[in-house]
C-alpha cells in the first residue's frame, strides 16, 4: 500500500486487493489462532486485553470521524493500524470474561447489524451510486438517510431470501451448478451494458470532484469562499500549501494563472505576448461556482488588466476611456458568473507591484508604474459602489502596501515576492 500510494490519485492503493491484503490476512491469521486457543485466557491477561480492545475501538472511532480517505498517513501505516485495532477489539470482545466490550457488542441491535453486515457492505456501493441527488431530488443528510434505509432493506431481504437458504442447504447442489454460472454471466452482461460508453475521467471531472469533496467536507457552520483571479490568487493558495480549511472558513481558488478579467494579449513595450489560453477562464469560474457551492466569491487580481493589450485587430491602451469601458464590461460579466445563485462578491483592490529582479526593462517599467494600479483600482471601487447590493470592496492595497510600500510581517519577513506571496505572508493574508 505504501509503495502504491499516489497523493494525486489514491484509488489504486485504496481499492487494490494486493494493497489491502494486510487486513484480510490479519483477520484470517486471527481466526486460525483463535480456533486453536483456549476458550478463556489466564486472569493476568484479561485486563490488559480489555484495555487494548478499548484502545482499538477508540482508534477506529477517531479514524472514522476525523480521517480523510486521501490522508497520506492512512496509506503509510494508518490503515494497517485500523486492521490491528479491529483484530484487538475482536479478540477482546469474544472473551467470555470481557466485562465491557463483550457485553456492549452483544446487544441485540449490534448483533442484528452484524448478521447482515456483509450484505450492507456488498449492496451499499451500487445503491449509494444509483440514488444520486439528481435522481431522487434530495441531498445532504436526507439523501444519506434514504440511501442507508434502502441499503438496510435490501440487506435484510438478501439475508433471509438468499444467504440463509444457501447456508442451510435449502438450494440443492445441482441447482447451484446451474444457477451460479448463470448468475456470473448475468453480472458480466449487466456490467458491460451499464458501463458501455464510459470514458476516462478528464481533468475537468477530477477538478469538479475535488471542489465537490471540499464543499462536502466543510463544517455546516463554515463559510465557503471561492477566490477567483489570476496568478496572485493562485500563488496565495500555493504558498500556504493548499486550500484553507477551518471551522469558520473553507476557501479554494478558481481561475487560470496569467488571466485577469480582460481578454486578448498583453503588450510589454512594443512586444505582444503570446496567447495565454484565457478563453477557458470563464468556464473555470463556472466550474468552481457550480461544484464548490460557495457562499461568497472573491475576485483577486494582480494588476495585469491595467496593461495595454491587443484585442483582435485593435489595440487597447490603458488609462483611456475605451479601456475603462471595456474593463467595466468584463467586470459585469465576471460579477454575473461569481454571484450566480445569490452569493456576494468581494472585489479586492490590486496591491502595489513588486518588480521582478532581472526582468526586461520594459516589464519592470510596467510593474513600477503605480499610476496604472491606481487607475485600475479606481474602476474596481466605482463599479463596487454602483453594485453595492451584491458587491463589496476589500482594500487589499491598503493592507499589503501601506503608504505605497510593500508591507512586511512584524519580524521583518516580506509578505510578498515579485511572483506572489511568501508562505508566511500567504498565511497572514488569509487570516
pLDDT at 146: 92
Give per-residue burial for 250-287: e unless 16+ CB within 10 Å, then b. bbbbbbbbbbbbbbbebbbeeeeeeebebeebbebbeb
Torsion of CA 259, 265, 271, 273, to 10 degrees: 50
pLDDT tens-place values along the chain, 431 residues long: 999 888 767 878 888 889 999 999 999 999 998 888 766 677 888 899 999 999 999 999 999 998 877 788 999 999 999 999 999 999 999 888 889 999 999 999 999 999 999 999 999 988 888 887 767 777 778 888 999 999 999 999 999 988 888 888 777 777 777 777 877 777 677 666 655 555 666 677 777 888 888 887 777 788 889 999 888 888 887 766 667 766 688 888 887 888 899 988 888 877 787 666 677 888 888 888 888 888 899 999 988 899 898 887 888 899 999 999 999 999 999 999 999 888 899 999 999 888 777 678 888 888 788 899 999 999 999 999 999 999 999 999 999 988 888 888 888 888 888 778 888 888 888 88
Cell of 7: 497523493
- The pLDDT of residue 252: 87
Angle, CA 226 vertex, CA 221 and CA 231 arms, to 5°:
145
Measured CA to CA, the distance from residue 178 to residue 176 in angstroms comes to 5
Name 77's Cβ contacts closer than 8 Å, sequence gap at least 6: 2
Residues 264, 337: Cα–Cα separation, whole Å = 19
The pLDDT assigned to 185 comes to 79
In the chain the domains, ranked by start, together with CATH numbers, are 11-165 (no CATH), 204-430 (3.40.50.1110)
**How buried is 216 (Cβ within 10 angstroms: 0-12 exposed, 13-18 middle, 19+ buried)?**
exposed
Q: Please measure the distance between the N-terminal and C-terminal CA atoms of the chain and give it in whole angstroms.
A: 37
Helix (H, G, I), strand (E, B) or coil at 51: helix
Distance CA 186, CA 188 (A): 5
pLDDT value at position 290?
A: 85
Q: What is the rounded distance in angstroms from the CA atom of residue 417 to the CA atom of residue 353?
A: 9
How far apart, in whole angstroms, are the C-alpha atoms of residue 427 and residue 423? 6
Residues 325 and 331: their CA atoms lie apart, in Å, by 10
Amino acid at each position: 500500500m505504501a509503495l502504491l500510494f499516489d497523493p494525486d490519485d489514491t484509488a489504486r492503493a485504496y481499492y487494490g486487493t494486493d494493497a489491502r491484503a494486510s487486513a484480510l490476512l490479519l483477520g484470517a491469521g486471527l481466526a486460525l489462532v483463535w480456533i486453536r486457543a483456549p476458550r478463556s485466557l489466564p486472569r493476568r491477561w484479561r485486563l490488559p486485553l480489555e484495555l487494548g480492545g478499548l484502545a482499538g475501538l477508540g482508534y477506529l472511532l477517531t479514524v472514522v470521524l476525523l480521517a480523510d480517505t486521501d490522508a497520506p498517513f492512512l496509506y503509510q501505516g494508518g490503515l494497517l493500524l485500523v486492521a490491528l485495532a479491529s483484530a484487538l477489539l475482536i479478540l477482546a470482545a469474544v472473551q467470555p470474561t470481557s466485562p465491557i466490550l463483550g457485553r456492549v457488542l452483544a446487544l441485540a441491535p449490534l448483533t442484528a447489524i452484524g448478521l447482515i453486515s456483509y450484505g450492507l457492505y456488498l449492496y451499499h456501493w451500487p445503491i449509494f451510486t444509483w440514488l444520486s441527488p439528481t435522481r431522487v431530488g434530495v441531498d445532504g443528510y436526507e439523501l444519506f438517510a434514504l440511501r442507508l434505509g434502502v441499503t438496510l432493506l435490501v440487506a435484510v431481504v438478501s439475508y433471509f431470501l438468499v444467504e440463509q437458504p444457501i447456508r442451510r442447504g435449502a438450494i440443492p447442489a445441482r441447482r447451484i451448478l446451474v444457477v451460479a454460472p448463470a448468475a456470473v454471466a448475468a453480472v458480466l452482461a449487466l456490467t458491460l451494458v451499464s458501463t458501455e460508453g464510459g470514458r476516462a475521467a478528464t481533468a475537468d471531472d477530477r477538478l469538479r470532484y475535488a471542489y465537490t469533496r471540499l464543499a462536502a467536507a466543510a463544517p455546516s457552520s463554515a463559510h465557503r469562499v471561492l477566490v477567483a483571479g489570476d496568478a496572485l490568487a493562485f500563488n496565495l493558495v500555493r504558498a500556504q500549501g493548499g486550500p484553507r480549511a477551518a471551522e469558520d472558513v473553507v476557501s479554494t481558488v478558481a481561475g487560470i494563472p496569467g488571466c485577469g478579467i480582460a481578454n486578448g494579449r498583453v503588450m510589454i513595450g512594443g512586444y505582444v505576448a503570446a496567447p495565454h489560453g484565457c478563453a477557458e477562464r470563464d468556464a473555470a469560474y463556472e466550474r468552481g461556482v457550480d461544484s464548490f457551492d460557495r457562499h461568497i466569491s472573491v475576485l483577486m487580481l494582480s494588476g495585469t488588466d491595467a496593461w495595454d493589450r491587443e484585442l483582435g485587430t485593435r489595440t487597447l491602451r490603458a488609462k483611456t476611456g475605451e479601456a475603462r469601458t471595456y474593463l467595466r464590461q468584463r467586470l459585469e460579466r465576471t460579477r454575473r458568473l461569481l454571484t450566480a445563485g445569490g452569493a456576494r462578491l468581494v472585489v479586492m483592490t490590486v496591491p502595489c507591484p513588486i518588480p521582478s529582479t532581472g526582468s526586461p526593462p520594459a516589464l519592470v517599467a510596467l510593474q513600477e508604474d503605480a499610476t496604472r494600479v491606481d487607475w485600475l483600482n479606481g474602476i474596481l471601487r466605482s463599479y463596487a459602489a454602483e453594485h453595492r447590493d451584491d458587491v463589496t470592496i476589500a482594500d487589499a492595497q491598503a493592507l499589503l502596501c501601506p503608504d505605497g510600500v510593500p508591507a512586511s510581517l512584524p519580524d521583518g519577513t516580506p509578505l510578498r515576492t515579485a511572483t506572489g506571496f511568501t508562505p508566511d505572508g500567504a498565511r497572514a493574508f488569509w487570516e
